[in-house]
A and B are shown apart, each in its own frame.
Chain A
Amino acid sequence: MSAAVPHVHTKEHVCWGGGCEHTQHHRLEVVDLSVQYQEVRALEKINFATECGRSMALIGPNGAGKSTLLKSLAGLIPGGGGKILWRGKPLTRSSHEIAYLPQRGDVDWNFPITVRGLVEMGRYPNLGWWRQYSRHDEEIVERALKSMELCDLEDRQISALSGGQQQRAFIARALAQEAHVLLLDEPFTGLDKPAQENLSRLFKELTAEGRLLIASHHDLQTVAGNFDDVLLIRRHQIAFGPVAEVFTPSNIASAYGNSEPRTE
């Protein structure tokens, strides 16, 4: 399996807040992952392996299981079949190293919280219920805000942001969490052209820093420009690999064919 992913670790992984030792490549491997909701099989035998420093698009029609796959990787759907291996160990519960970013439409943007408050949430894995918010936490939050160009907006209530700014606030939260892996549900949806281009640039910076990005995506035109790898699914796996190799018309056709997604 390891041959499937070329070693592209050109830069050291940036891990904020200490613990920078990276003796091994940070590898995410998914083996025969299946998810069943009641009687409906949502995902069937998904297999892929990737590592930090890469970005991957999840492509498939509505109901293909993209969100389910992201949630499984985030540890939100227990009891699925198969294995998820992160850095060689089975992922059995949530980890601060893996951040989940829901679709913007799933979030209550009227919630009384500022941009800074949202980013500070990322410190929870470090703080737990009661530990004092320290200078160190403060510095990490500052850095996250700065790298997502949110410093001027930090006191804004989150609904007073543009779509692109909201997405950046989410990413800043993931950075404050010191996440290595960012799981993003439709990050480009609802953004105007300049915001999309900005986000695309940020994606490249994040992967260059050594982070692994996995995002569901529906705009087939922009896959090649934004992602290294692509996983085509339709409940079952259609293809996985570098965009140039597997994002072919025939694979796309079998993902989006005329019939309903396979249900057996």
Chain B
Amino acid sequence: MSTFTDFLAEPIAKRTLMACLMIGFANGFVSAFVVLRKDALKIGTLSHSLLPGIALAVLIGGLTQWSALAGAIFAALIVGLGSIFLSRTSRLDQDTAMGVLYTTAFAGGVLILKNLDMRQKLDEWLFGSIVGMADSDLWIAFGISAIAVITLTALQRPLLIYLFEPNIAASLGVPVRLLNYATFAVTILVLISSLQAVGCILSVGLMVAPAATVYLLTNNARTLFWGGGIIGAVGSVAAFFLSYPLGWSVSATIIVVLGVFFVIAYVFSPKYGLFSRRRGVA
């Protein structure tokens, strides 16, 4: 065990731990929004769409945090707006259009990254690289987490009404369109941080599982946000401590730990668990 405590004293371990804490919390917090919006699959689509954008940005501007960020936003917009455009100008529905667009884009991204001789990078974008974060990465992760938590907290009152029933929200004067844009921006930002932590294939897990777990435990939507954040952070930190002695990848371990939390809640939740008597009634 002494090697583990030695490892913990290293700067890289501290940075990884910090990253797990911040990214886990931010993603868990935002997962409440994703779960209430019933948007889990769309998040999967978006996260896969980011890869080609990042690949293109790397191709054009070289690899920096900012080029990756710009590429990611660009790709998300192209696939998001492109699917709306396709569905309006053909007989396809938006889900179908999105399914075609994002897989094509994703495959293109894989090809670009491979041909750039960036096999290593490709792996990192696919499966995450939370261990290799530099100080600047940490600052960006911190900034993203702060923006996400502050924005969603500030907008919580109108947002919850909107998520409950958009028509009621609009009739009460909730600025529905503004909320749509703001939450889309936050979602993209947080996705980018989760992409770095667990990669684009597993990022859906980090952005859904925490609040999905809390959803089985609470009747309070506000608890869903903070509880999701706490579950996300605790799960990620626990995964960090588990992964070293077991020799597992931190990224994959995060998702597995969150999955285990979810199963525990599913089985043992006092109100909505498998063994709950009120299940089906409540």
Residues of chain A at the chain B interface (Cβ within 8 Å): 71, 74-76, 93-96, 98-102, 106-108, 111-114, 117-118, 121-122, 124-125, 127, 129-130, 157, 159-160, 173, 177
The residue on A at minimum CB distance from B155 is A129
Closest Cβ–Cβ distance, residue B211 to chain A (whole Å): 10
Closest Cβ–Cβ distance, residue A127 to chain B (whole Å): 7
Chain B residues near A121: list those with CB within 8 A. 160-161, 164, 168, 172
Chain B residues near A129: list those with CB within 8 A. 154-155, 157-158
A111 contacts B36, C-beta separation under 8 Å: yes
Q: A129-B157, A159-B282 are in contact. Are A102 and B219 (CB under 8 A)?
A: no
Chain B residues near A127: list those with CB within 8 A. 157
Interface residues of B in 205-257 (CB under 8 A from A): 215, 218-221, 223-224
The residue on A at minimum CB distance from B219 is A157
Distance in angstroms between the alpha carbons of A114 and B164 in the assembled complex: 12
Q: What would be 14 A-B contacts, judged by CB atoms less than 8 Å apart?
A: A76-B171, A99-B171, A106-B165, A108-B165, A111-B36, A113-B221, A117-B221, A121-B160, A121-B168, A125-B172, A125-B173, A129-B157, A130-B157, A157-B282
B174 contacts A111, C-beta separation under 8 Å: no
Interface SS of B by simple majority = helix
Distance in angstroms between the alpha carbons of A42 and B163 in the assembled complex: 27
A112 contacts B282, C-beta separation under 8 Å: no
Chain B residues near A94: list those with CB within 8 A. 170-173
Q: A157-B282, A159-B282 are in contact. Are A98 and B161 (CB under 8 A)?
A: no
Chain A residues near B168: list those with CB within 8 A. 100-102, 121, 173
Closest Cβ–Cβ distance, residue A155 to chain B (whole Å): 8
Distance in angstroms between the alpha carbons of A95 and B173 in the assembled complex: 7
Chain A residues near B165: list those with CB within 8 A. 102, 106-108
Chain A residues near B96: list those with CB within 8 A. none
A112 contacts B167, C-beta separation under 8 Å: no
